[in-house]
Amino acid sequence: MTISVEIHTRSNTLLCNGHRLATHSKGLLAFVCLLLWKKRARPEAGWVGMGELRGILPTTHGRQMLRYIDTLAGIGFPVEYESKTCGRYRLALAPERVSVDLAEDGLECFLGLAAGASVAAPFALSDSRTLPESLRMLESFARLNLAQSQFYDGNLGKGDNHAYHLFLCESEIAPPEWRDLALLWLARTCHRLNRYDEALAALRRLGALVRGGAGHQDVAVQGAGVF
């Protein structure tokens, strides 16, 4: 059977061989568009790793990817994966079989990339950062991943290696590229711990960071949904 896919970013809808998925998740649409973009750029491979995903969707985590993959499977969307929760992922379909309601360079704009850019992990060593700067980003990235794991495991605030303490530290010491994430997750953790004043303070810092051009707008939007 020949598979065809339609991506409608304006109506948040996916169509796959007559099956329709209407979603409120911009993250899911961005994931699908990233798969298509990568397949167009590298038809012979087209794999997308978690590092690349987090360059587009900074708060991506394993349970979220599990939901995305299972949701797409429900309409028969052709996606391959090495692991549902950890990646890698790729579109299991020739890119010409996919239509999207965007102009030629619209995928780059939708994903927030510069036209013609190549997706890479946000801490890639091939960019303009020095080795110590890249290592610092890697260390911060690892601490944030640990803190997220603690959050989802319910280890919120009792120990130095629990979510609250880790996110609080990263909100002060993380490189600018990660600080907005640390503040977002600090606010979420404080909200779960009923520390509402601290949660609001973290969100105010996040808003100031974004307004100053040092944070991601999509992270600020997620912060608005904490309360």
Domain boundaries, the chain: 5-111, 131-224
With 0-12 / 13-18 / 19 or more C-beta atoms within 10 angstroms meaning exposed / middle / buried, residue 44 is exposed
In this prediction, what percent of the chain has a pLDDT beyond 90?
9
pLDDT for position 227: 59
Q: Which residues pair with residue 19 across a beta bridge?
A: 16
51-94 pLDDT, tens per residue?
777 767 766 778 888 889 999 988 888 889 988 888 789 888 88
pLDDT for position 115: 42
151-165 pLDDT, tens per residue?
877 788 877 778 898
pLDDT for position 25: 80
Higher pLDDT, 49 or 71: 71
Cα–Cα dist 180/30, whole Å: 20
What fold characterizes domain 131-224?
A: 1.25.40
Q: Could you tell me which of 23, 87, 30, 25 has the C-alpha nearest to residue 57?
A: 30
- b vs e for 183-208, b when ≥16 Cβ sit within 10 Å of the residue's Cβ? bbbbbbbbbbeebeebbeebbebbbe
Using 50, 70 and 90 to split pLDDT, how confident is the model at 126?
very low
pLDDT for position 114: 47
Cα–Cα dist 82/86, whole Å: 8
Higher pLDDT, 122 or 141: 141
Q: Is the pLDDT of residue 98 over 60?
A: yes
Q: Could you tell me which of 208, 76, 147 has the C-alpha nearest to residue 220?
A: 208
Higher pLDDT, 183 or 142: 183
Q: Could you tell me which of 48, 135, 42 has the C-alpha nearest to residue 90?
A: 48
In this prediction, what percent of the chain has a pLDDT beyond 70?
81
The reported pTM is 0.53
Higher pLDDT, 191 or 43: 191
Cα–Cα dist 172/197, whole Å: 18
pLDDT for position 218: 63
